[in-house]
């Protein structure tokens, strides 16, 4: 009977040291994938190069009442040398929108070598100062317009108040039209006081406080006087707690008694 030494066998098995797991890396398979990806990239690059032909046609769409096609083409030309595919459409849109009287622009690629530009022009709602123009959103889009429509109402105020003045005008115009009156000018002075010039030549002084309430009171009480005596009235002063006073163009005309509260003047 042969006896085996268990300890000897264990020692013998440990002489070879620790055995680490073996990992096999298939280099050929990964090289094949890399080659395929490189081929695809080369194909896409070649296709992009083939498609990036020079831009030969620029088509346009818009009302062209204040902006001419020549102005748009001049703004686009520096960007068309990049090619049909590489032309920066966002940069072209910004260049077109930088033109006076352009509100929005959209640029599209049209196969095979054309860019199409759609232009939306600004709508002037009012003048600002001497030569500025405000759009329907109350934004000053042209500070020195070459042509200022004379029929537009004239708004004015300190720098930075364009939007606030435009919003006040839109709200007041809606109320006065209901009363059969129209605004020719609206002013905000440095002290924060408001004045309205009607197209009849009458000035409405609203002051600095409770402007909306004073305008409402003017529509309810004083507008009727203006409609019947517009040629004789110089101004209507609404800067009172409850009433108003009237200034006549011709001195000596009988002045109607002020309404209740007119003696309580507020700025």
Domain count, the chain: 2
Find the CATH number of the domain harbouring 111: 3.10.20.310
Find the CATH number of the domain harbouring 183: 3.40.50.11690
Q: Which of 82, 101, 121 is the last residue of a domain?
A: 121
Structural domain contains residue 137: yes
Convert the pLDDT of each residue in 222-247 to its tens digit.
998 888 888 899 999 999 988 899 99
Confidence of residue 43 (pLDDT cuts 50, 70, 90): very low
Same domain assignment for residues 168 and 241 = yes
Same domain assignment for residues 183 and 133 = yes
Q: Which of 121, 139, 155 is the last residue of a domain?
A: 121
Q: Say yes or no to pLDDT of 7 above 50.
A: no
Same domain assignment for residues 155 and 194 = yes
Q: Which of 104, 121, 138 is the last residue of a domain?
A: 121
Structural domain contains residue 253: no
Same domain assignment for residues 99 and 197 = no
pLDDT at position 152, please? 94
- Structural domain boundaries, residue 71: 57-121
Convert the pLDDT of each residue in 192-211 to its tens digit.
999 999 999 999 999 999 99
Helix axes 89-97, 69-80, angle to 10 degrees: 150
Q: Say yes or no to pLDDT of 65 above 90.
A: yes
Q: Is 116 helix (H, G, I), strand (E, B) or coil?
A: strand
Give the residue with greater pLDDT, 205 vs 52: 205
Asked if 200 contacts 232 with a C-beta cutoff of 8 angstroms, the reply is no
DSSP secondary structure, 62-80, as one string: S--SSS-HHHHHHHHHHHH
Convert the pLDDT of each residue in 98-139 to its tens digit.
998 999 999 999 988 899 999 999 999 999 998 999 998 889
Most confident range, picked from 110-119, 172-181, 187-196: 187-196
| Of 119, 122, 130, the residue nearest 155 (C-alpha) | 130
Strands (E), the chain: 57-61, 102-110, 114-121, 124-128, 132-135, 140-142, 154-156, 183-188, 194-198, 203-207, 233-237, 245-248
């Amino acid at each position: 009977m042969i006896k085996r030494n268990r300890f000897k066998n264990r020692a013998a098995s440990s002489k070879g040291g620790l055995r680490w797991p073996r990992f096999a890396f298939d280099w050929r398979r990964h090289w094949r994938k890399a080659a395929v990806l490189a081929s695809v990239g080369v194909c896409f690059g070649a296709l992009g190069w083939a498609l990036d032909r020079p831009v030969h046609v620029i088509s346009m769409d818009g009302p062209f009442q204040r902006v001419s096609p020549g102005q748009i083409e001049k703004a686009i030309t520096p960007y068309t040398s990049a090619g049909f595919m590489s032309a920066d459409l966002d940069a072209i849109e910004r260049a077109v929108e930088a033109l006076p009287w352009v509100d929005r622009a959209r640029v599209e690629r049209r196969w095979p070598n054309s860019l199409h530009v759609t232009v939306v022009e600004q709508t002037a709602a009012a003048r600002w100062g001497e030569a500025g123009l405000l759009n329907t959103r109350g934004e000053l889009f042209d500070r020195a317009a070459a042509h200022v429509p004379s029929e537009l109402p004239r708004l004015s105020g300190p720098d930075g108040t364009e939007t606030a003045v435009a919003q006040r005008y839109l709200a007041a115009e809606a109320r006065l039209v209901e009363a059969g009156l129209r605004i020719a000018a609206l002013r905000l002075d440095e002290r924060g006081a408001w004045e309205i010039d009607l197209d009849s030549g009458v000035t409405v002084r609203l002051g600095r406080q409770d402007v909306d309430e004073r305008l409402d009171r003017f529509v309810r009480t004083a507008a009727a006087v203006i409609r019947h005596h517009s040629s004789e009235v110089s101004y209507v002063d609404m800067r009172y707690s409850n009433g108003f006073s009237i200034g006549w163009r011709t001195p000596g005309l009988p002045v109607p008694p002020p309404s209740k509260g007119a003696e309580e003047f507020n700025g």
